[in-house]
Amino acid sequence: MKLLRYGPVGSEKPGILDDDGKIRDLSGHIDDLSGEALSDETLTTLRGLDLATLPVVEGDPRIGACVANVGKFICIGLNYADHAAESGMELPAEPVIFFKATSAITGPNDQVEIPRTSVKTDWEVELGVVIGKAAKYVSEEDALDHVAGYCVVNDLSERDFQLHRSGQWVKGKSADTFGPIGPWLVTRDEVADPQDLPMYLEVNGHRYQDGSTKTMHFGVATVISHLSQFMSLQPGDVISTGTPPGVGMGQTPQTYLKAGDKMELGIEGLGVQRQNVVDSE
């Protein structure tokens, strides 16, 4: 299933994409895409619905982040060998963990704001993993059973804040609009192998990132198992699993986002995001 949330900011409703690409309203069956709605039991119930009986959402509504009430927005750094190389950093012995503020989360096609005083706002297409069942001390073998589904994430980063303003990376990762998620939450039964997903990102029509989850240093199951040794993972938590090469910081000369730029990014089977870049007010 391709699940989504549509409507104005703060008033989104749950929906599902039918075989004709039409949005069908799910609000008669679940309140939102969060918590218990992400469980295997609820997803099985939704999978059994006759979509033709659900109301069609007319027009072209705004698409919101595909998960509501995210408790933790966890990111994995330097998780692609070729990206670590372009960053001038060695591959880590264990997954590098950092967090983005959940207030950074926005819809997949909402505007991206460049923060005040920013000089190095960068892009990163990433595979997002949405937890559907609580996970604590899980094995790699069982890890994927705790996944509700997968989505596209743009892990936007202000490199000067991230690397030169002291402290952890969170400063450069958490500005408002720095976490577009969606358009869809694609349930795990529709993703045969999360380690074989082509992904790309373009700015103003130029393709900067053209990679695949095949080159992840630590795969999805390893990441989930590893995280669960240090914290419990709860339904609705989002894990952003790292980016392939081609970020602005890795260009010669380095290239960063500016107001007026247009981004397009996607992962095979998980949909496409399109964002206009503006200066923050």
pLDDT digit string (tens) for 147-202?
999 999 999 999 999 888 887 888 999 999 999 999 999 999 999 999 999 999 99
Residue 177 sits in a domain of what CATH number?
3.90.850.10
Residues 197-230 have pLDDT tens digits of: 999 999 999 999 999 999 999 999 999 999 999 9
Q: Residue 86 above 80 pLDDT? A: no
Q: What is the pLDDT at residue 263?
A: 98
In a domain, 34, yes or no: yes
Cβ-defined contacts of 95-98 (< 8 Å, 24+) = 95/218, 95/222, 95/223, 95/226, 95/227, 97/227, 97/230, 98/74, 98/168, 98/169, 98/170, 98/173
pTM (predicted TM-score): 0.96
In a domain, 26, yes or no: yes
- Looking at the fold, whether 220 and 101 belong to one and the same domain comes out as yes
Amino acid at site 109: N
Do residues 232 and 241 make contact, with C-beta atoms less than 8 angstroms apart? no
Enter the tokens of residue 217.
């240093």
Residues 89-146 have pLDDT tens digits of: 788 999 999 999 999 999 999 999 999 999 999 999 999 999 999 999 999 999 999 9
- Looking at the fold, whether 99 and 163 belong to one and the same domain comes out as yes
In a domain, 58, yes or no: no
- Looking at the fold, whether 35 and 139 belong to one and the same domain comes out as no
Confidence of residue 275 (pLDDT cuts 50, 70, 90): very high
Range of the domain at 33: 2-53
Q: What is the pLDDT at residue 84?
A: 74
In a domain, 182, yes or no: yes
In a domain, 214, yes or no: yes
- Looking at the fold, whether 217 and 111 belong to one and the same domain comes out as yes
- Nearest to residue 79, comparing CAs of 239, 190, 235? 239
Residues 233-256 have pLDDT tens digits of: 999 999 999 999 999 999 999 999
- Looking at the fold, whether 77 and 209 belong to one and the same domain comes out as yes
Q: Which phi and psi angles does 56 have, rounded to 5°? A: -80, 135
* Tally of structural domains, the chain: 2
Break the chain down into helix, strand, coil percent, rounded to 5: 20, 30, 45
Do residues 221 and 239 make contact, with C-beta atoms less than 8 angstroms apart? no
- Looking at the fold, whether 13 and 112 belong to one and the same domain comes out as no
In a domain, 187, yes or no: yes
In a domain, 63, yes or no: no
Q: What is the pLDDT at residue 32?
A: 98
Calculate the alpha carbon distances from 86 to 78, 196, 203, 249, 254 in Å.
10, 22, 19, 8, 11
In a domain, 221, yes or no: yes
Expressed in angstroms, the distance from the first to the final Cα of the chain is 38
- Looking at the fold, whether 46 and 143 belong to one and the same domain comes out as no
- Looking at the fold, whether 138 and 245 belong to one and the same domain comes out as yes
